[in-house]
Structure 1
Amino acid sequence: MPEEITTESVVSNIMETISDSVSKHKEEFFPGEKTRPRKLFGREKPVHHCLGGGKSADVLLWRNKKISAGLLGGAAITWILFEWLNYHFLTLLSFGIVMGMLVQFAWRNVSSSVPRLVIPDEVFVNAGEVVGAEVNHVLGYLQDVACEGTMKQFLVVAGCLFAAAIVGGWCDFLTLIFIGFVAAHTLPVLYEKYEDQIDDFAYSVLEQLQHNYRKLDAGVLSKLPKTKFTGKKID
């Protein structure tokens, strides 16, 4: 009987093809050299540890498939409601509050007591501190590049922001968030399963990009003035 074709088998075949192709290229350019496994960003610890460990890493790596599938399905439903069905946030919020009040009203008629719903203040305080620290870190870096960085640093940052602006023009903010959420819940688990093949392929691509960057640096970027921007010192 013919072997059943599944998504997992297709992905496995793709990864094996990439791994074989990378090995052949390494043998062509570096004959006789023993290939040692290299991890992205010099990683030595498991993927679960790099993601912070704990429950959050378990969700991203699908240790508990029910929770991970529920979060991914909830994000998909939310995106469909806002993007395809053109619902508005205030409308859904009002309907959700009404449904919650109806549930509590029915619960009160059945039971003598209804638990009080209270979100601890620490949740909002911690969230605000984390967001504020990250925003200030990014603003400080951009300010350092603009006021004290070199022309090369300025052009690199400006190019990255320009690329982000182009990507942002392809779809709205909600779609970008949804794409990022889906990527966060699919890419880590795929990487953990096929990390050796992905690492080999990624390093071959990075080596090619570094080679192209060295040519660009030697031909263009190295000729730019290396003096820092002059301006008033910012306290």
Structure 2
Amino acid sequence: MGKKVKSGKMSPEPELPSRGPVVDLIYWRDVKKTGVVFGGVMVILLSLAYLSLISVISYTSLALLSGTITFRVYKNIMQAVQKSQDGHPFKCILEKDTNLPSDKVHEATDVIVKQINSTVTELKRLFLVEDLVDSVKFGCLLWCLTYLGSWFNGLTLVILGVVALFTLPKVYEQNQAQIDQYVGLVRTQVNDVMSKVKAALPIGNKEKSQ
């Protein structure tokens, strides 16, 4: 005789906290909404791989306009048949305030300018070899980018970046402990190697002695 299976209800999955609309999209909090956004972005990027930017914008706008006109005509016909007074089908969207708040624009501009200034300062420090080890690391990164550029073009990298943006955070969230463990081991090994390299460089020893 087979074993009896105990009946019982499965406990519901814990509801994850909201971290903002953009982060919720990346972490697939709402699968349907994220699927629509991710699918739409990928369709546009893949279209850019075969068509010009003007063509993609024109076709996308034309498809959107065709859909809104068709829906508007359909609703008008249904209102005439049913003799209803529902009004414009897009009334709620037309009445919605879509103007950008000036304070948010100024805040975003300040953040962008601050980030640009920080990037320029860091590039100046790296190119003018303020710290030899950091400049060597930067040179290795640029050398790797030359190979990356020979394998992929800019649009391909953008597509890969979008795919990574919508997959890696979710994978990390589900396997955080294991990933942190391996990343910690790699970081320790890299720090050991860089310490040995820095100690072996005569310029680095002079800077320490000063």
TM-score for both structures, normalised by structure 2: 0.66
Partners of 1:92 and 1:181 in 2: CA distance: 18
Partners of 1:154 and 1:132 in 2: CA distance: 24
Which residue, out of 123, 127, 133, partners 1:152? 133
Q: Report Cα offsets for 1:167-224 as digits up to 9, x if no partner.
A: 2332111111121121121111111111111111221222222222223223337557
Equivalent pair of 1:150/1:226 in contact (CA under 8 Å): no
The aligned runs of 1:71-90 (5 Å cut-off) are 71-83=37-49, 86-90=50-54
Partners of 1:156 and 1:225 in 2: CA distance: 19
Residue type of the alignment partner of 2:183: A
Instruction: Give runs of ≥4 in structure 1 deviating > 6 Å.
Output: none
- 1:100/1:75 Cα in 2 relative to 1: closer, same or farther (>3 Å)? closer
Which residue, out of 13, 24, 36, partners 1:58? 24
The aligned runs of 1:1-235 (5 Å cut-off) are 53-83=19-49, 86-109=50-73, 110-111=75-76, 113=88, 114-115=90-91, 116=94, 119-122=98-101, 128-147=109-128, 149-220=130-201, 226=207
Deviation at 1:91, TM superposition (A): 0.6
Partners of 1:118 and 1:172 in 2: CA distance: 39
Counting aligned pairs with the same residue, the percent is 19
Deviation at 1:225, TM superposition (A): 5.9
Q: How many residues align?
A: 176
Unaligned stretches of 5+ in structure 2? 1-15, 77-86
Secondary structure of 1:121's counterpart equals coil
Deviation at 1:93, TM superposition (A): 0.9
Unaligned stretches of 5+ in structure 1? 1-47, 228-235
* Bigger Rg, structure 1 or 2: 2
Equivalent pair of 2:199/2:205 in contact (CA under 8 Å): no
Q: CA RMSD in A?
A: 3.3
TM-score for both structures, normalised by structure 1: 0.60
